[in-house]
Amino acid sequence: MSITLYNTMTRSKDPLTPRDAPRVSLYTCGPTVYNYAHIGNLRTYVFEDILRRALLYRGYEVNHVMNVTDVGHLVSDADEGEDKMALGAEREGKTVWEIAQFYWDAFRKDLERLNIIEPTVWCRATDHIDDQIKQVRILEEKGFTYTIDDGVYFDTSKLSDYGKLARLDISGLRAGARIEVTEGKRNYTDFALWKLSPPDSRRLMEWESPWGMGFPGWHLECSTMAMRYLGEHLDIHCGGIDHIAVHHTNEIAQAESALGHEWTKCWMHGEFLTMAKSDDSDGGKMSKSTGEFLTMDVLIDKYDYDPIAYRYFLLGAHYRQQLAFSWEGMDGAASALARLKRTVLEARAGYTGSEQPISVCMDEFDAAVVDDLNMPRALAAMWKAAKTPNASPGEIYATILHMDRILGLGVKEMAPADADTSDAEIDALVEARTTARAAKDYARGDEIRDQLAEMGVEIMDSPEGTTWRRI
């Protein structure tokens, strides 16, 4: 059974056929390190981690490269606006280099807390300026560029298949493009390869180049570093869906024009995490500038969640489905995780080390994994294993432990103290009981009280309200 993955380029689930099996080359677009990653960004990195783990589980050797965008790119995809790194530096009174180091460290801490396996190679854009300049020179020599006052641009009209990933309607775009944002740009879809610094001012980050002082375009770093570390052919390239139309489209244009052949075989994109409408004034779009900026620190420190509860929450939806973030969903995930921990501890107590995983559950699990990483079905197979009537505790533990190679919920490390339910989960249940009782649904209220008792929590009603304590 080979693993099938949805390829945005072909719009179909294709069996993976690595060029140099069992080695798989994987490039995932990394963070721009001018602020913390928000939990939406982290959804994409969890999806990529599931992919990486699934490939390892299937016996592949994965060479995984991730970039760190530390060049001060501009806030809009259209090469316009303010410099993100400079904004961060100004906001915090630090140098751009300090900002980059701080947020890269913070990002790695987030990965660790979410049990995300680190890439095999990290590469920083600022460490590869020369490589990027070389790429622009190659494109220039091959006639794909033109230079205007503002910098060196890629001429997208030179490619007959520009926009193939997004299936862009180029003629429609060209006809509709009345306003040219940058003077001298020849086509609406042309993009900067090298931006020149304004003649009369200095930027915080700028480098010498054959075209003058300036900095590389954002799309350039990924195709350049991917080729540098993974060669001329790439098996899988990933990112969030927002990268399809511009960033990945432009990476393809640069790489394939420089190479003269197809570059990446399989393009995979994770759908967005959105904020539930009721919590957000921005039409459900998750962003760093509106509403509460949700990071792992906020989930952990302010709302008292176990970071793995967020990973569990994400596994509940397929990576190609949009997922709405909600506190109810997080409470549900925290509570399921606490249940899993209790199951694991109980089952582990009867584990001798020689039991084998339950084959019917493993078959279902494997079938879900190879079917484009279907984690909701994989989780269902795990719960089926936990509840298999004739299985011994040791077999149950062996099964869940095996599945955790992909799920990454940290089954092996689960310790008795972790089996305690978080305060946030208990508060949510107590509140649900109060609501049920206010609606005169006493049966539901009693059910929740019993559930809390099972979790070792006693509740006390008084005229001032309801309180709880662990027993």
Binding of residue 29 to Zn ion (CB under 5 A): yes
Q: Are 207 and 221 in contact (CB under 8 A)?
A: no
What does 307 bind: ligand AMP, Zn ion, none (CB cut-off 5 to 8 Å by kind)? Answer: none
| Cβ 40 to ligand AMP shortest distance, Å | 3
**DSSP codes joined into one string, 93-138:** TS-HHHHHHHHHHHHHHHHHHTTPPPPSEEEEGGGGHHHHHHHHHH
Instruction: Tell me which of 18, 214, 240, 410 binds ligand AMP, using CB under 6 A.
Output: 240
410 is a contact residue toward ligand AMP (CB under 6 A):
no
If binding means CB under 6 A, how many residues of this protein chain bind ligand AMP?
15
> What b-and-e string marks burial along 322-361, b requiring 16 or more CB atoms within 10 Å of the CB?
ebbbeeebbbbbbbbbbebbbbbeebbeebeeebebbeeb
Establish if 187 lies at the interface with ligand AMP (CB under 6 A): no
Residue 462 CA, distance from chain mean position: 46
Is residue 32 a contact point for ligand AMP (CB under 6 A)? yes
Would you say 359 and 316 are in contact if contact means Cβ atoms under 8 Å apart? no
230 belongs to the binding site for Zn ion (CB under 5 A): no
Assess 196 for contact with ligand AMP (CB under 6 A): no
Is residue 242 within the footprint of ligand AMP (CB under 6 A)?
yes
CA distance 235 to 24: 6
Q: Is residue 51 part of the contact set for ligand AMP (CB under 6 A)?
A: no
* Token duo for residue 321: 């489905």
Piece of 139-147, 178-186, 269-277, 390-398 that binds ligand AMP (CB under 6 A): 269-277
Comparison of 251 and 355: residue with beta carbon closer to Zn ion: 251
Query: Which residue from 7, 25, 41, 264 is in contact with ligand AMP, where contact means CB under 6 A?
Result: 41
Q: Which of 107, 177, 136, 45 is nearest to 168 (CA)?
A: 177
Candidates 81-89, 130-138, 239-247, 413-421 — which segment interacts with ligand AMP by CB under 6 A?
A: 239-247
Q: Does 305 bind ligand AMP (CB under 6 A)?
A: no
Residues 6+ apart with CB under 8 A from 85: 34, 70, 71, 72, 73, 96, 99, 100, 204, 205
Print the binding letters for residues 207-226 with Zn ion: x by CB under 5 A, - otherwise: ---------------x----
Residue 426, judged by CB atoms within 10 A of its CB (0-12, 13-18, 19+), counts as: buried
Whole-number Å distance between alpha carbons of 351 and 331: 30
Question: By CB under 6 A, is residue 9 in contact with ligand AMP?
Answer: no
Q: What residues make contact with Zn ion under the rule CB under 5 A?
A: 29, 222
User: In the complex, which residues of this chain contact ligand AMP (CB under 6 A)?
Assistant: 29, 31-32, 40-41, 43-44, 239-240, 242-243, 270, 272-273, 286
